[in-house]
Amino acid sequence: MTCWNSIVEVDFSNPLKGVTPPMKKDTVVEFRKPAKEQDLLSAMLRDGAQRLVAQAVQAEFEEFLGRFSGEGPDDGRAAVVRNGFQPEREVLTGLGPVAVRIPKARSRTEEPAVFHSRLVPPYVRRAKSVDAVLPWLYLHGISTGDMREALAALVGPEAGGLSASVVARLKSRWMEEYRTWRSSKLGRDRWVYLWVDGIYSGLRAEDERLCALVVIGVNERGQKKFLAIEDGVRESKQSWREVLLQLKGRGVTIPPRLAVGDGALGFWAALREIYPETRQQRCWVHKSANVLNYLPKALQPKAKAALHEIWMAETRQDALVAFKRFADTFGAKYPKAVECLTKDRESLLAFYDFPAEHWIHIRTSNAIESTFATVRHRTERTKGCLTRDGMLAMIFKLGMSAQKNWRRLRGFEWLAKVIGGTKFKDGIEVQQRVRKPGNQAPRRIAA
């Protein structure tokens, strides 16, 4: 008797159809790999970009052929004609890889004719936008070993072909740019304010950490620019003296009106020697941190509020009253905290003699601190593996990148009066009394 339920229908066009595969001895369950997700929008954009590139290159090639239109041989044929295409290559862009075919030219005369596209130069494998991503990734903490994965996440898995040596070549290029920049002339502008600070890295020279000495200046048009990025072992007077002498040699011959920085004695001693006419303004952020270090943590919020009342006071007189209040409150139990604050009282209140619109800029050296927070992160990630030149090149590149986004100084129209020597009291211009014609003093006439 035949059991029809056990009969297996066999498709002779596909003998394996309907046949149950033998069971495996292991108990591991296999899952099918998910199909590669297709981003239709990105694919459409890449296809459109490929067509646009082909059209643009074709227009370039026709323009190239047009240059030889009147130089053909006597038989009337064109002097230069198309001769196929170069091998197709992919150019990595922000949209991913785009296939490019460059036409070739053949000359029918003795003069050679080689076509080079301005849009896609020879041997170019990456768009400039992708090259711009590499330093940004490196400066923001991505190591050269992780660069490939980071780029793959940004522009697609095709970026995996980029090697870590690309970053090494970029760092060499940065160093060349830095050497050219540090010898550029600065005498075309009048530099009114300076911000200075020492940026410490994880690198060490013998028993001391290496330090980059940084100077930012603002010119008469309110534009902030980096003036110096130099290396040093520490913030000593000699190190800062060399930086200031270099600035003087590059054209900063007229003393700036004000310099803003922390309490590092090396800079201020060098400033008095090189630019003795420049006023001094201590950074309130650094000073507040130094004062709070002398107080227990339980009292620090109260002390911080008292310090805030000083440097946010509307007038110098109100600030002096707040100074006295701070000394009376904490002087008996914490004399070192009060001494740390009061010893620099004059330089902490120098900003009252400048336009009130500029106070937000000149009370602190945050222009440098905020810019180079990434450098500290970068050196922590590399755990001291940067070289001295690598550190300088990295700081320079990060600084130049940040400088592009800086806005002009608020109230920059007052800079002309600061340069001209106008007096300010509590941030307000002091109006000079003008004598009436009837009260003029008699002129002294030379005999």
Task: Tell me the C-alpha distance between 56 and 52, whole Å.
Answer: 6
Residue 219 has pLDDT above 90, yes or no: yes
Q: DSSP labels for 303-314? A: HHHHHHHHHT-S
Q: Are 195 and 260 in contact, with CB atoms under 8 Å apart?
A: yes
Residue 447 is predicted with a pLDDT of: 36
Task: Tell me the C-alpha distance between 129 and 163, whole Å.
Answer: 17
**129-186: pLDDT as tens digits:** 555 556 556 655 556 666 566 555 544 554 545 555 666 676 778 888 899 999 999 9
User: DSSP letter at 183?
Assistant: T
Residue 16 has pLDDT above 60, yes or no: no
Residue 68 is predicted with a pLDDT of: 79
Residue 30 has pLDDT above 70, yes or no: no
pTM of the model: 0.66
**377-406: pLDDT as tens digits:** 555 554 444 577 777 887 888 788 788 888
- pLDDT, average across residues 97-118: 80
**35-92: pLDDT as tens digits:** 444 566 666 666 766 776 777 778 888 888 888 776 666 666 777 888 888 888 777 6
- pLDDT, average across residues 94-105: 76
